[in-house]
Amino acid sequence: MTDTSPTIVNRTLPTRLPNSAYRVREYLTEKEVDRLIEAARKRGRNGARDAAAILLAYRHGLRAQELCALRWAQVDLRNGRLHVNRTKGGIESVHPLHGPELRTLRPLQGSSPYVFVTEAGTPVTTSWFLRMIQRTGKAAKLPFQVHPHMLRHSTGYKLANDGQDTRSLAHYLGHRNLQSTARYTALAPHRELSPNLGDGKGQAAAA
């Protein structure tokens, strides 16, 4: 006769390691972002939209949700201003829009209140942004998998390398806690060479 009495089996979920354990690094260099944008521009009939999304996310340190929710009411093309609404309780701010951004945004204007939309006219989603970034990273032949949040980290490292102090960088990225920003300034290799603002640099790759 088969014993059907219940048995106790100890089961534990595998512990997930930090993201850094699975990825080579958490940011892209400026040249790698340029490669990503160029690859996006050449991919399919929505290349202009995709390239603009990558550029905006990088220049302004946008999270995927912030980018997908971006509305034209936040964009002032005439005066070159972007009102950034932060998620996760972040600090809202107004960023300058420079020439490359203005040139990529103008052709996207349409009847939708959202800046980035699908061919059906609906707002893009964070899952779309993830898939688009991953496919574009492969098209750009980057030697590692790319994910959307790398663009925000790229903004932080770029500005830290340009000499922005922690408080200014925190304000630009919408951080309320300076500890969230310290990771960028601590790892900036040229930090000791330009510790202060005022040298005309640090506008999210404005050149």
Given 23, 147, 149, 183, which residue is catalytic? 149
Three-state secondary structure of 131-197: HHHHHHHHHCCCCCCCCCHHHHHHHHHHHHHCCCCHHHHHHHHCCCCCHHHHHHHHHCCCCCCCCCC
Given 25, 42, 81, 88, which residue is catalytic? 88
Distance in angstroms (rounded) separating the CA atoms of residues 132 and 53: 10
Given 63, 86, 95, 158, which residue is catalytic? 63
Active site residue 41: no
Active site residue 25: no
Given 95, 152, 153, 158, which residue is catalytic? 152
Long-range CB contacts for residues 132-136, cutoff 8 Å, separation at least 24: 132/40, 132/50, 132/53, 133/36, 133/54, 135/43, 136/36, 136/39, 136/40, 136/43, 136/50, 136/54
Active site residue 184: yes
Active site residue 149: yes
Active site residue 63: yes
Active site residue 138: no
Residue positions annotated with a catalytic role: 63, 88, 149, 152, 175, 184
